Each structure stands twice: as structure tokens, then as C-alpha cells.
Amino acid sequence: MRFRPLHDRVVIRRVEAEEKTAGGIIIPDTAKEKPQQGEVVAVGPGARDESGKVAPLDVKAGDRVLFGKWSGTEVRIDGEDLLIMKESDILGVVG
């Protein structure tokens, strides 16, 4: 299935969290927090302003981004867990 986000929405694949702490302690799955970093998979064409002109998004597919802990809607597409959120929920681009 192909999925194309609309307007100013972005599809993000979470980056997997580390399995160990810096000191070498293994973190069990039950204690892990969901990562707040991901890779942009797809972006919509942009939001329309009051005059009807489309403003393109600042992020593009392949960008690594940071987002808020409770941002986005979790969806499953082709067996893969992804997040769909508005561009305004993205805090910034990493690297």
C-alpha cells in the first residue's frame, strides 16, 4: 500500500531506543520509553494560507527529527508502526 499524507502532515518512523545504558545496564522492554526521534518517511504538499497559496514544508523524506513525547497518531501501514503528525509537532531536525 502506498500512503501519501495530506496538507502539512508528516509520516515518521521511530528510531529504535538503545538497549543498554552508558554504564552497560540492559534496559528491559517494560522500562523503555518510546523514542522521541525518528526518520521522516513522507511529507504532504504543505498547508494553505489565508489567500489559498500552498506553503511547502521545511522537512523532507530522510530527515531525522525530534518530536514531543505525546505527538502524533500511531498507525500501522504494511505491518510497520509509524507516526503521523503535523509539521508543527516536530521540534527540530537533527544533524
For the domain that residue 82 is a member of, what is the CATH number?
A: 2.30.33.40
pTM of the model: 0.77
Domain around 47: 9-17+30-90
User: Does residue 1 form part of some domain?
Assistant: no
Q: Is residue 73 part of a domain?
A: yes
Look up residue 87 and give its DSSP letter. Answer: G
Residue 24 located in a structural domain: no
Asked, for residue 2, whether it belongs to a domain, the answer is: no
Per-residue pLDDT tens over the stretch 58-90: 999 999 999 988 899 999 998 999 999 999 999
Does residue 83 form part of some domain? yes
Q: Using the 8-state DSSP alphabet, how is residue 26 labeled?
A: B
Model confidence band, residue 95 (pLDDT cutoffs 50, 70, 90): confident
CA torsion sign for 94, 70, 74, 45 is negative
Give CA–CA dist 92/81, Å, rounded: 21
88 φ, ψ (degrees, to nearest 5)? -65, -20
| Total tally of structural domains belonging to the chain | 1
H/E stretch holding 40 = strand 37-43
Q: Look at residue 17 in the predicted model and tell me its pLDDT.
A: 62
**pLDDT tens, position by position, 6-62:** 999 999 999 876 665 567 777 666 655 666 899 999 999 998 888 989 999 999 999
Q: Which three three-digit cell numbers place residue 5?
A: 499524507
